[in-house]
A and B are shown apart, each in its own frame.
Chain A
Amino acid sequence: MGDVNRSLALQGSEQGYATTRLDALLGWARKYSLFSYPFITACCGMEFMALTSPRFDVSRFGAEVPRFSPRQSDLLWVVGTISQRQGPVLKRIYEQMMAPKWVFAFGTCAATGGFYDNYTTVPGIDKIIPVDVYIPGCPPRPEAVLDGLMLLQDKIQRGERRPGVVKPRIDPAQQVSELVRLRRSAGDPRALLPALREEKRS
């Protein structure tokens, strides 16, 4: 975009506006008009429905229009487990989309294969097609998906193509005090351990 990025000076009585950074304008336009292609194969689809329904309302981000033809869509939502048998279908759908195109790996199964660590399942769709944003969760909460959508919008605005991962808002490992604990009236269960061991031995 060398020519259009050139800064133009308006002189004399000329009026109007000058475009200096067309890529930024295009990025701004693209990030608020994502046409989605939902490729939904499993239970994460329920969470996708929650996301697109009024409570979480993905249309706030301009990404609410589903197109059921990959040729008309920009954003491929891969929602759910992709079996090896579906691999060629997914690749073909991706290839039918017109550039520029982006891909969401929605849920742990789409991102890594999840707990289907076996002969049936593709261990992450990035083995077949490029992924822009990974949204972990089984299923991810709609907030996590919205975080992912905002991350994607940020990537589009910046023209960034490296993949991103949605991080948890609260990492339970870092904030153990936030976790619920088992409450026992008998007090600390660890106090019972020596007696249990003794019982087992006898």
Chain B
Amino acid sequence: MSQLVLEKLRQRFGTAILETHAHFGDDTAVVDAGMWRTVGQFLCDDPDLDFDMPIDLCGVDYPERVPRMEVVLHLYSIAKAHRVRLKTRVGDADMAGAELDSLVSIWPGLDWLEREVFDMSGVRFRGHPDLRRILMYPEFEGHPLQRTYPADKTQPLVAYRSEAEAGTPLEKLEPFGPDEGMPFGRGGLPRVAEDI
């Protein structure tokens, strides 16, 4: 497909489009976080673009970068049958300033997706009608898909039974060894068998 979408974006917004690429036909534009809503409105309203369907919204954490959190929006136009991927970057090392304008008033389908990004990645959406957690419970602290969230940290809602109360060891019973589970959590990758 031609790069119609990216060209129009570059013409219309100039420096607010930080970078673009079209790898294997996947048109991607990285936009300035302050222009997030304006660009979204343009993509929705422009008759040549006519993006009427938000496919997905997610957050990707790059802890070594500033700003660290990338928010990725995939859009599709049913009438024109074309797609675009829109990215923006927010938040410093402590996730301060990780705020974006909500796009729910443009695409109502983004309601739960923005809640998910808030829940998992900790990006706050200004103007969202009901920004609460959607996957995790309200008592949960932190945002689990931030890379700084400890991989083995759990936040149980009910107190675990103690071994004295249970009268039996609660550490993994035979035949579940202590080395079962995810390899990074329990020290080292499993040894590859030599005998193929």
Could you list which residues of chain A lie within 8 angstroms of chain B, going by C-beta atoms?
84-85, 87-88, 91, 108, 111-115, 117-124, 126-130, 134, 136, 162-163, 165, 167-168, 182, 189-190
The smallest beta-carbon distance between B182 and chain A, in angstroms, is 4
Contacts of B180 in A (CB 8 A): 112
Apart from A112-B181, A128-B160, A168-B175: 5 A-B pairs, beta carbons within 8 A = A87-B158, A117-B186, A127-B156, A165-B173, A167-B175
| Chain A residues, Cβ within 8 Å of B170 | 124, 126-127
Are B157 and A87 in contact (CB-based, < 8 A)?
A: yes
Q: Does B62 contact A (CB under 8 A)?
A: no
Residue B191 at the chain A interface, CB threshold 8 Å: no
B169, chain A: closest CB distance, angstroms: 10
Closest to B184 in A: A117
Report the contact-size class of chain B (Cβ under 8 Å from the partner): 20 to 34
Residues of B with C-beta under 8 A to A121:
154
B82 → chain A closest CB, angstroms: 36
Please, how many angstroms separate the alpha-carbon atoms of A22 and B154 in the complex?
Answer: 46
B176 within 8 Å of A by Cβ? Answer: yes
CB pair B158 A91 closer than 8 Å: yes
Known: A124-B170, A127-B170, A165-B175. Contact between A119 and B144, CB under 8 A? yes
B155 at the interface (CB under 8 A from A): yes
A84-B137, A84-B154, A126-B166 known; A117+B161 contact, CB < 8 A: no
Chain A residues with CB under 8 Å of B157's CB are: 84-85, 87-88
A114 partner residues in chain B, CB cutoff 8 A: 181
CA distance A84 to B168 in the complex (A): 22
A-B contact count (CB 8 A): 76
Residues in B whose Cβ lies below 8 Å from that of A117: 152, 181-182, 185-186
Most chain A CB within a 10 A radius of its CB, from B152, B153, B158, B186? B158
Q: State A129–B168 Cα separation when bound (angstroms).
A: 12
Distance between Cα atoms of A129 and B180 in the complex (Å): 22
Q: Which residues of A contact B144 (CB under 8 A)?
A: 118-120
Assess the B161–A119 pair: CB atoms within 8 A. Answer: no
Report whether B176 and A118 are in contact in the complex, using a CB–CB cutoff of 8 Å: no
Q: Is the CB of B173 within 8 A of A87?
A: no
Residues of B within 8 A of A (CB): 136-137, 144, 149, 151-158, 160-161, 166, 168, 170, 172-176, 180-182, 185-186, 196
Most buried by A among B144, B149, B155, B176: B176
List 5 A-B residue pairs with CB atoms under 8 Å apart, sorted by A's residue number.
Answer: A88-B158, A108-B176, A118-B151, A124-B172, A190-B196
Nearest CB of B to A73, in Å: 21
Known: A115-B181, A117-B181, A119-B144. A165 touches B174 (CB 8 A): yes
CB pair A163 B168 closer than 8 Å:
yes
Residue numbers in A under 8 Å from B155 (CB-CB): 84, 119
Q: Which residues of B are found within 8 Å of A118, using beta-carbon distances?
A: 144, 151-152, 154, 182
- What residues of chain B lie closer than 8 Å to A111, measured between beta carbons? 173, 176
Expressed in whole angstroms, the Cα–Cα distance for A34 and B170 within the complex equals 26
- B173 interface neighbour in A88, A163, A168, Cβ under 8 Å: A163
Cα distance A162–B185 in the bound complex, in angstroms = 29
Assembly CA distance A127 to B169 (angstroms):
10
